[in-house]
Amino acid sequence: MHLLRRAYEFEYRSREGTDRLGTADLWADAGATRAVLVLRSVPPGESQRALGTLNHSWLPYLLRPETALLVLSLRPRTAGQKARAVVLPLSA
């Protein structure tokens, strides 16, 4: 895997209707048949909405339609806990 984009800042609309900022990293294999999208600075409940925004605005320009995409939403480390990643279903 190699890094296609690092710390890409994007804006998405939250459930409350406010605009929020998130960041994303995109990794792909050499043949661009598989890719991994890592969402950062996005609350866990807003990950699907952020992914929907990226599906319409950014990802179609970087990946082919047949590319298999795995999406991870990182939860930052909190006091006494490890950082965690949640795998999102690709229903957006």
- Which domain does 50 fall in, by range? 2-88
Q: Side-chain half-sphere of 48: how many Cα atoms within 13 Å?
A: 6
- The better pLDDT of the pair 92, 19 is held by 19
CA distance 65 to 88: 18
pLDDT tens for residues 55-74?
Answer: 999 999 999 999 999 998 88
Q: What is the dihedral of CA 86, 87, 90, 92, to 10 degrees?
A: 10
Write down the pLDDT at residue 79.
67
| Residue 88: pLDDT over 90 | no
Write down the pLDDT at residue 76.
64
pTM across the whole model: 0.82
**Residue in 85, 8, 86 with CA at minimum distance from that of residue 53:** 8
Spatial CB neighbours of 44, under 8 Å, sequence gap ≥ 6: 73, 75, 86
| Residue 5: pLDDT over 60 | yes
Q: What is the CATH number of the domain that holds 63?
A: 3.30.70
* Count of structural domains within the chain: 1
